[in-house]
Chain A
Amino acid sequence: MTMQIPIEFYLILSAFMFTVGVTGVLIRRNAIIVFMSIELMLNSANLTLVAFSSYLGNSIGQLFVFFVMTVAAAEAAVGLAIIISLFRNKLTLNLEEINILKW
């Protein structure tokens, strides 16, 4: 029995979510929301991996998603710690005011 939904549907949904994540990173200036948009992009990549893994009948793709989740958890912990220490020093989360590395 073959799957009823063409794989393109999953890929298009994933592309749409990735695009929304890119837009969020580009237009938002709140550091936490930019960070959440990055999580959204990671998830859309995960959806592509799981879709191909399932349609090809190979579990390696889902293994890769497991590792991506591990890295995302580590990234969220460290990133939020950086945001907390940034807020402690600058008292703002607006990315336009955090520009000490710009010249």
Chain B
Amino acid sequence: MSLEIILFILFAAVAAASSVIMITRSDAVIAALFLILNFASLAGLYLLLNAQFIAVSQVIVYAGAIMVLFLFVIMLLRPEKEKILGNKPFIKIMAIVVAALVFIQIDYMIFFSKSNNITGQTAASVKAGTVESIGRELFTNYIIPFEAAGFLLLAATIGALVLAKKKFE
């Protein structure tokens, strides 16, 4: 086995396991920490896919900024622990069954679609993932979506301030 396959198995196992652990913890802080682990292993998978820029921004934006925000809110509000199956266990077990059916359906589509003979070329994939090629696209062909994204962030900042502050008298 090559190093690539070993690393894929490692990162994929950590990502899958931490996501399952995340939704089954009753304590929200522990769930958030496992979600950070999940994001970090996804960054490793992005590196295996030669997507350097996305891997770094995954660590900075998701595991850094967004999860710190989540942890702040969890520690600020201190939500009570909940029992996983709660007071309506039958409905929740049915929900898990439905989700498993969705998983089977997606796998069916992956294996029986006609586009399953994609073989990646390492050289082309390295070239696609560099900061240079992404930045070139971002600031030439996709400059209007980029500006719109900046405006969206401004609107979200103002909206978050307005929503979270106390009412005027």
Residues of chain A at the chain B interface (Cβ within 8 Å): 1-5, 7-13, 15-24, 26-33, 35-37, 39-40, 43, 46-47, 50-60, 62-63, 65-67, 69-78, 80-85, 87-88, 93-94
Contacts and interface: CB of A to CB of B under 8 A. Distances in A.
Given A12-B110, A27-B95, A73-B66, A2 B120 contact: yes
B96 interface: yes
Chain B interface size, as a band, is 35 or more
Given A36-B32, A62-B129, A81 B99 contact: no
A32 B4 CA distance: 35
Given A1-B121, A43-B42, A28 B160 contact: no
Given A47-B45, A80-B70, A57 B120 contact: yes
Interface of B: 2, 4-5, 8, 12, 15-16, 19-20, 22-23, 28, 31-32, 35, 38-39, 42, 45-46, 48-51, 53-54, 57-58, 61-62, 65-66, 69-70, 73-74, 76-77, 79-80, 82, 84-86, 92, 95-96, 98-100, 102-103, 106-107, 110-111, 116, 118-125, 127-129, 133-134, 137-138, 142, 145, 149, 152-153, 155-157, 159-161, 163-164, 166
A46 B86 CA distance: 31
B79 A84 contact: no
B156 A93 contact: no
Interface residues of chain B: helix, strand, loop or mixed (majority): helix
Nearest to A18: B106
A82 B163 contact: yes
Contacts of A18: 102, 106
A81 B77 contact: no
Contacts, number: 241
Given A57-B121, A85-B164, 7 more contacts: A2-B119, A2-B120, A26-B98, A27-B86, A39-B35, A65-B51, A93-B80
B120 A3 contact: yes
Contacts of A55: 118-120, 125
A56 B118 contact: yes
B66 A39 contact: yes
B23 A32 contact: no
Contact of A30 (B15, B20, B82): B82
Given A19-B103, A62-B129, A83-B73, A32 B62 contact: no
A26 B107 contact: no
B38 A8 contact: no
